[in-house]
Amino acid sequence: MVTTEIPARPEPPTPAPKRTGRKWALRIVLALLILAVLAVFAAIAFLWWTDSKIERIPSSELTSLQAVDSGPRNFLIVGTDSRENLPDDFEKFGNFSGSRTDVIMLVHFVPGEGAQLLSIPRDLKVDFEGAPANRINAAYVIGGPDLLVETVQDVTGVPVNHYIEIDFVGFAALVDSLGGVEIDFECAARDTKSGLAVDAGPQTLDGEMAIAYVRSRTYQENCDGSWDTDGSGDIGRTGRQQALLLAVFDQAASPSSAFNMPSFASTFAEQIKADEGLSAGVIVDLGRLALSLNRSTIHTTTLPVKNHSEGGRSYVIMVQPDADEVLTAFINGDPFPS
């Protein structure tokens, strides 16, 4: 008997794996691309919206500025004591007409490196054409921002590329948009005229208290049980102004302020006056630089001066050769002399 082998039935082909995973991957990539595009357009829209809020000073009114295309930039930062739109709870700061420069600072930004901040005492003696022997803050009253820029350049030799101005209300709003800023006080401090009153140690200042701190002219400290008046005058005030500005940088760059940044950027734009050359592109570059700054990359000093009286008025005048050494370091971006 012959046995016939029946050939084995071939196995059915294995079905190709479904491409569900690949499809989902493509969908995720596509969604991310769409989100990226939307984020770019949203950033552009926010930047345009923010830029549109800045009050611009026409170029025809700031002819003394020196244009620069790239590289280091010098800013003249001016804080005025304008009482325009002053809230009722700010009445302690007085209710005077007009506007004077209470803060005058030169800021030198070097891309990829850091920043230098040079305070100019507002009582610095200068000579204006037709108005000799005056204080530098009078330049703003006599000829507005342009005369102030011209005077600062003449006195310091520092070319000024951009101008930014902010007043009482604006600076207080800026501080509040960050949720306040922290200053570490070595001793309890007060000023019964400006309203400053803080204990020793780290203190978070809101906008109103920050103004009271930087504007204090009768600053007192209690380190050993008695209140002692700070006799450093205008120099002490510039030191407090620098300390507060550093605190603003620290707070703006801290991770805890990430959710406050849109409000901060919007408030900054709403509260400042700036030259027309401060374009959106320059603001973006400055924003990137500002977020990378910290206390180790911001170097501060005050123009070396000494008290001086002339014609029955008190001023401060530059101390030489110290002042020239500081100005040369600022212009060249070198470390300030110790």
Q: Which of 74-78, 101-105, 146-150, 163-167 has the lowest mean pLDDT?
A: 101-105
d(CA 234, CA 90): 22
CA dihedral 14, 18, 22, 26 (to 10 degrees): 150
Q: What is the 3-state secondary structure (H, E, C) of 60-84?
A: HHCCCCCCCCCCCEEEEEEEECCCC
pLDDT digits (tens, 9 = 90+) for 303-324: 999 988 888 888 999 999 999 9
Give the pLDDT band of residue 29 (cuts 50, 70, 90): low
How far apart CA 120 and CA 135 sit, in angstroms, is 11
- CATH number for the region 54-332 comes to 3.40.630.190
pLDDT confidence of residue 262 = 74
User: CA 236, CA 301: separation in Å to the nearest integer?
Assistant: 12
In three-state secondary structure terms, 92 is: helix
Q: What is the dihedral of CA 65, 68, 74, 79, to 10 degrees?
A: 40
pLDDT band at residue 38 under the 50/70/90 scheme: very low
CA distances from 107 to 114, 171, 298 (A): 10, 17, 10
Distance, in Å, from the CA atom of 247 to the CA atom of 242, rounded to the nearest integer, reads: 9
15 burial via Cβ count (<10 Å: 0-12, 13-18, 19+): exposed
Instruction: For residue range 202-247, list pLDDT tens digits in order.
Output: 999 999 999 899 888 899 999 999 999 988 877 888 889 888 888 8
Q: What is the structure's pLDDT at 58?
A: 92
What is the per-residue pLDDT across 204-215, written as a single tens digit (0 to 9) for each?
Answer: 999 999 989 988
Which pLDDT value is given to residue 194?
A: 86
pLDDT attached to residue 23: 64
Residue 35 has pLDDT above 80, yes or no: no
Beta bridge partners of 272: 166
| Distances, alpha carbon 272 to alpha carbons 50, 59, 79, 169, in Å | 11, 16, 10, 10
Residue 103 has pLDDT above 60, yes or no: yes
Confidence of residue 48 (pLDDT cuts 50, 70, 90): low
The predicted-structure confidence for 123-164, as pLDDT tens digits, reads as follows 999 987 766 778 998 899 889 999 999 999 999 999 999 999
Give me the sign of the Cα torsion angle 200, 206, 208, 210.
Answer: positive
- In the chain, domain spans: 54-332
φ and ψ at 80, to 5 degrees?
-105, 160
- State residue 310's pLDDT score: 86
- Residue 19 in this model has a pLDDT that exceeds 80: no
Closest CA to 172 of 230, 85, 98, 50: 85
User: Given the structure tokens 């026409």, which residue do they identify?
Assistant: 58
Residue 101's pLDDT band, with cuts at 50, 70 and 90, is confident
Is residue 175 predicted with pLDDT exceeding 80? yes
Angle at which helices 20-53 and 261-271 pack, to 10 degrees?
A: 20
Q: Taking 60 as the threshold, does the pLDDT of residue 6 lie above it? A: no
pLDDT over 60 (residue 98): no
The answer to whether 232 and 224 are in contact (CB under 8 A) is: no
Q: Cβ atoms within 10 A of the Cβ of 329, count?
A: 18
More confident residue, 268 or 8: 268
Residue 201 has pLDDT above 50, yes or no: yes
Q: Which residues contact 238 (CB under 8 A, 6 or more apart)?
A: 119, 121, 302
Q: Is 53 exposed, middle or buried (0-12, 13-18, 19+ CB in 10 A)?
A: middle
The whole-number pLDDT of residue 233 equals: 79
Question: 114 pLDDT band (50/70/90 cuts)?
Answer: confident
